Amino acid sequence: MALPQTPDSNPVDYIDEEDFIALEMSHEVAGERLDKILAAALPDYSRNRLKSWVEAGAVMVDGKITKARYLLRGGESIKVFPQEMPEQFAFSPENIPLDIVYEDDSIIVVNKPPGLVVHPAAGNWTGTLLNGLLFHYPELKLLPRAGIVHRLDKDTSGLMVVARTALAQTALVRQLQERTVGRRYLAWVWGEAPSQGKVLASVGRDQRDRLRMAAGIAQGKPAATLFRRLAKGEFASSPLALLECRLETGRTHQIRVHLESLGFPLLGDPVYRKKTPGAAKTLPFHRQALHAYALSLEHPATHETMTWFRLPPADLMDLMSEVAIDLDSLPTEAGLMASIQNDHR
């Protein structure tokens, strides 16, 4: 993975707020070598691998690239950008059908179906959105991560934007960093959710299970999720609700983690299940009930504010009747536009 560049330099690479590791050094490490401290702080990675990252310029000390033998003064801020393994560069085009919502010379907006992995990784080296993009848009092979600038979980459906040029990728990444990209989700949750609310809780790796994220982690990153209830429902006498969620930050699994921390786990979520009622065992739905239904951003070339809207896929539409929520409870495109205008006042 390429390192982020300055605005006047080459386009920055893919931004996901889990893609770098931040380390704050105490003054007690004064005189210690950088490679030794990295090995102690990041035991999940081998010393040779960490050293290769330093040599590749993927470790920054107070914003500067340095050597593995660099002696720390104490008090530094270190950012480590984990580098991909060689197999992750072996991406090949695959004829995967894509639901393209919008495209022009600068960007592509795709409606990702549930079950589609966005980016190749261990266990999913093929059959991903990236592989499909490379087939339909061969020019994307020239861009880092084929122009992908943000992710959705495998079993989350909905809208994503992809850059077609280096300039567009730089502009989109900058908007993501500045939190000006509007992302709205529909979430079906268990419990008596209030009419509206805001969750302010850091999100980071669960110290007991590295495959999970957790809220309120001391070493986590600040995260904010706003939500409002669109409708109440019920299944097997257990209350539930349909929520609209808006992200102010984009942490991994943020909505799933934040809502579970309030006692409102998503229907069908196989990972974040605290306070899930027994009725969930008989609900015929087996993925997290989460859909990215609206996306808005400033077009990288025209600077026009653009918004896209997509109703949930068939499985979530079918779920509505199972949980006694009327389809009229879903947002409309006209209602979305009015809501966005109101937000900007």
Catalytic residue check, 153: yes
Neighbours of 24 (CB within 10 A): 9
Check residue 72 and report its DSSP letter: P
Query: Which of 170, 169, 56, 161 shows the shortest CA–CA distance to 100?
Result: 161
Secondary structure (DSSP) of 123-183 = TBSSSSHHHHHHHH-GGGGGSGGGGB-----TT-EEEEEEESSHHHHHHHHHHHHTT-SEE
| Strand, helix or coil for residue 18 | coil
Token pair recorded at residue 172: 């989109």
Token pair recorded at residue 157: 């459906």
Task: Give 301-307's long-range contacts (Cβ < 8 A, gap of 24+).
Answer: 301/104, 301/105, 301/106, 301/167, 301/168, 306/102, 307/182, 307/336, 307/337, 307/340
Pairing of strands 182-190, 21-24: unpaired
Total count of residues recorded for the chain: 345
Query: What is the CA 158 to chain-centroid distance, rounded?
Result: 12
Residue 108 identity (one-letter amino acid)? I
Catalytic residue among 153, 155, 269, 315: 153
Residue 147 identity (one-letter amino acid)? G
Catalytic residue set:
153
